[in-house]
A and B are shown apart, each in its own frame.
Chain A
Amino acid sequence: MPLAHSLAKRPLRALRLPAALRGERGLLIALALFVGALSILPLGRLAYAALFPKGVFDATRIVEILGNRRIFEATLNTIWISIAATLLATVVGTLAALLSALSDMRARTLWVFGFVLPLMIPPQVIALAWIQAFSPASPILGPLGLALPAGTRHPLYSMGGIILLLGLYNAPLVFLSVRASLYRVPSSMLEAAQAQGARGFPLIRDIVLPLARGGIFAGAALAFVSSIGNFGIQAMLGIPARVPTLITLIYRQLNSYGSSALNDMALLALLLAGLTVLGMALTAWLGRRSDQRVDATRRPPRRALGRWRLPIEATAWAYLLACLALPLSALLGTALVRGVGQPLTRDTVTLENFSNALFHHDGIRQAFGTSLLLTLGTVAVLIPVAVALGYVLCWRPGWVARALAVASELAYALPGIIIGVAMILFFLRPLPFIGTGLYGTVWVIFAAYLSNFLALALRPILGGYAQIERGLDEAAQLAGAGIFARLRDVVLPSLAPSVMAAAILVFMTAINEIQTSVLLVSSRAQTIGPMIIFLDEAGSSTLAAAVGCLMVALVLALMGLSLLLGRRLPEGVLPWRD
């Protein structure tokens, strides 16, 4: 008799699910319910509210709203800003990737860390830092005599300023994607071209760039999605500059008119979602003819820059100085004085803003507490869900799993503000059984985070699954272990590094999150992300700068922590590691 049959079954648990809901089928049903309730239903509700506001489809209303001059202008602005910023990000990101992947520049690891760092800093903090750095009252350029004369209009408060900042902010996304594809270019292809006499610029133009094409367009798609949905920069620069975009329009209308404007805003959100999907589809189409070469054994060797080395290195470091060091030190400079524009001297320097931010300002303290709890809760729920969803996606593929993955990707890729509108619509009415709505409570933000960040948690975990040998799970199955025992005893220990990476990524993204929560925060539930905008709007720029500095410090601490345990992580999971 096999052991499995001869032994008495384990003592019955007090509660057992019916057979149909146990095991893998039960897991799949639970996952479908989770993704369905948090991603599919709210987005469906949004589309319904946009197109059928009173239960009927009304074409004239749609034409009327979309034909409105202000909305038309905002739509055109949105399209133009996102396309221009994407082009800028693609050029800068590709150049940086070529430099770091193929050249023998010195101190590369440090430079890459600096180049990717802005990606991890919340956009509203970046925007605030740039505003401080290039304002007429700049704490850094001022003493150097390089600041603009007082009374000039701030150069970043303009369409060009928004494009510049969005482009530079998203360049690391293109960089990561292009670098990954450059590492996959077989070195023999470059050597063959060199044997034919190609070198320098022709080698890059004719061989390297065509081979990295898939990565360039994938990066461009990411940059587009991130630009069109970037609330932090569009709001911090666009609102003072009076350059309306769809995102800022939705935000301001909801703030002014409340839920009466919801159906119209749902339509705008749907328009924004449509533009996002259109942009992704267009870049995917441009970057088609996917590359199937898998010769990943040998990275292309780094090429000597020769006599160009010094000028190129100087340019690279000057870029970091201008785009990272200058804004961040300006932010710190502002945080260290009592009022904006005060020169930073031994007499004016003060830690008052930091102590206020950390200990005295109730709003900030509560917001930080709420954000921390929300983030920890999000990590605690999403990591097990992502591990289970990854299992189904990798080892039990089928149309249900595919649909769940697509839904979670959509909830992640669509601008956060769309999820925000969807969540308001979905949770506005009182819930059945409970009798009270969740709108205005911290639970709506929690639901939005769970919906928004599932795909973010899923990516490193899928990477981890790709490295586990499937036989390990099958062997445990033969040992009699059910799905949950296998996930706990076999999958999770093998997946631990990727799970850590996923937790860090979700934590870093959620703790400073602004896009979704800016619509969902209320007097009862504040998060720290939008706090900077509220403080800045209320005129407390120095306090906002101090909060921004603390956010950067938190991000740096987490990145440092992740690098400490980085050695055990699969390659390519942490973007800031070279």
Chain B
Amino acid sequence: MSDIRIDTLGKRFGNTQVLHDVSLAINEGEFVAVLGPSGCGKTTLLRCLAGFERLSAGTIAVGGRTVSSPGRHTPPEDRGIGVVFQNYALWPHMTVAQNVAYGLKIAGLAKAERAARVAKVLDTVELGPLADRRPADLSGGQRQRVALARCLAMQSRVVLLDEPLANLDVHLRAALEEEFARFHAQSRATMFYITHDQSEALALADRIAVMDKGRILQFAAPRALYSEPADETVANFIGEGRVIDVRSLEPMGAGRARAELLGRNAPLRCRPDQRAQPRARVSFHPGDLHLVPEAEGIPAHVIRASYRGAFLRAEVMAGPRADIPFTLNIPAPASLTQGQRITIALRDGWVLPAAA
């Protein structure tokens, strides 16, 4: 009843096309993150879903009911969708309990029932003792829990979250990420989470939609996004990804392949239908590069080494003219000095499907 079908959605502001041909099918109870740089249109997509913006093209259906299309628009009041705003949008003149109860009051719920439900919801988010405080007297984390409680009280089957952690400091973020996961587990609501922070998205979401310039580039599970990016933009965006040219690509069946990188053999993964090619583009992450004994690897020299605690981050130059930069993580304990000569090898990589 709370699956979301977004079909070829388009949104224009004046002459600027903000969203192009966006299609997403989100299952009931799924936790979906939309990840993209600022200005990519992700907030506009959320506002379209909530009903604050009208569509220029396409449709949005929630639970099989079309709520938005260019000719038809269910106002936000009637959608029953919950939103956690970036700064929570708690009404400053109401207490915590009144904030949570407001939607129930509008819906005409009897006073006793309302009070009971508010008390139960506040207990769920562990805010019972703070019911009579005003939002101004709460910490950032508590405010977020009030915002979540508002969605819980309304029993919203779809909850949209608009960069809810963007204004908080790093220490609070981890704790609040957990809060979202728990909220999702308890409510089983369909969650639609907007963020520009990939670690948040990777940690929380069942599936992630990567957006750029108003288009969805890839919609897949975090693991797939990380290890099997659909194109170069996604590959570069996720997990400090890197894309490089290889030669003589040969599939070996069962999704394995090998190719030549700077004169050395590299084991790779590819699509089952990948064909042999003289050249290909391969995506990998710093963790896929390893230090190897001199005879087996690609010679390189260290430009800069920086200490990162659990590992050493090394920037190196390789290739015949020593002009191809690589970044690799070397597990501690290790020490490298600037100018030191090393040999490296690529142990894993993903062959990017040729652009259609």
Contacts and interface: CB of A to CB of B under 8 A. Distances in A.
A binds B: yes
Contacts of B52: 474, 477
Interface stretch (A1-9, A180-188, A562-570): A1-9
A489 interface: yes
Taking each of B77, B81, B93, B150, which has the highest tally of chain A beta carbons within 10 Å of its own beta carbon? B77
A479 interface: yes
Contacts of B102: 476, 479, 481, 489
Given A2-B157, A478-B79, A7 B107 contact: yes
* B: interface residue count bin: 20 to 34
Contacts, number: 97
A1 B106 contact: no
Interface residues of A, number: 29
Contacts of A381: none
Contact of B150 (A1, A5, A469, A475): A475
A482 B104 CA distance: 13
Given A1-B1, A2-B154, A478-B50, A494 B80 contact: no
| Majority secondary structure, B binding face | loop
Nearest to A6: B155
A476 B91 contact: yes
A479 B81 contact: no
A493 B93 contact: yes
Contact of A479 (B85, B92, B154, B158): B154
Taking each of A4, A6, A23, A474, which has the highest tally of chain B beta carbons within 10 Å of its own beta carbon? A4
Interface string A1-44: 11111111111000000000001000000000000000000000
Interface string A464-508: 000001011011111111100100011001100000000000000
Nearest to B65: A5
A471 B99 CA distance: 14
Interface string A441-477: 0000000000000000000000000000101101111
A485 B78 CA distance: 14
Given A3-B154, A23-B75, A478 B93 contact: no
A494 B92 contact: yes
B107 to A, nearest CB: 5
Contacts of A10: 107-108
Nearest to A473: B89
B138 interface: no
A62 B114 CA distance: 70
A475 to B, nearest CB: 4
A472 B107 contact: no
A372 to B, nearest CB: 31
Nearest to A11: B108
B345 interface: no
Interface in A89-131: none
B109 interface: yes
B142 interface: no
A5 B104 CA distance: 12
Given A2-B155, A4-B80, A471-B85, A479 B1 contact: no
Given A2-B154, A478-B82, A471 B87 contact: yes
A480 B79 CA distance: 8
B85 A475 contact: yes
Given A479-B106, A480-B77, A474 B83 contact: yes
A2 B107 CA distance: 11
Interface string B64-88: 0000000000011111111101111
A467 to B, nearest CB: 11
B1 A481 contact: no
B59 interface: no
Interface of B: 1, 50, 52, 75-83, 85-93, 102-104, 106-109, 150, 154-158
29 contacts: A1-B1, A1-B155, A1-B157, A3-B154, A3-B155, A4-B78, A5-B80, A9-B108, A472-B91, A474-B50, A474-B85, A475-B83, A475-B85, A475-B89, A475-B90, A476-B91, A477-B52, A477-B75, A478-B77, A478-B83, A479-B103, A479-B154, A480-B77, A480-B78, A480-B106, A480-B154, A482-B77, A490-B91, A494-B92
9 smallest beta-carbon distances between A and B, as pairs:
A2-B80, A471-B89, A479-B103, A4-B80, A10-B108, A493-B93, A475-B89, A471-B85, A477-B76
Given A11-B108, A478-B82, 6 more contacts: A2-B156, A3-B154, A7-B108, A7-B109, A10-B107, A480-B106
Interface of A: 1-11, 23, 469, 471-472, 474-482, 485, 489-490, 493-494
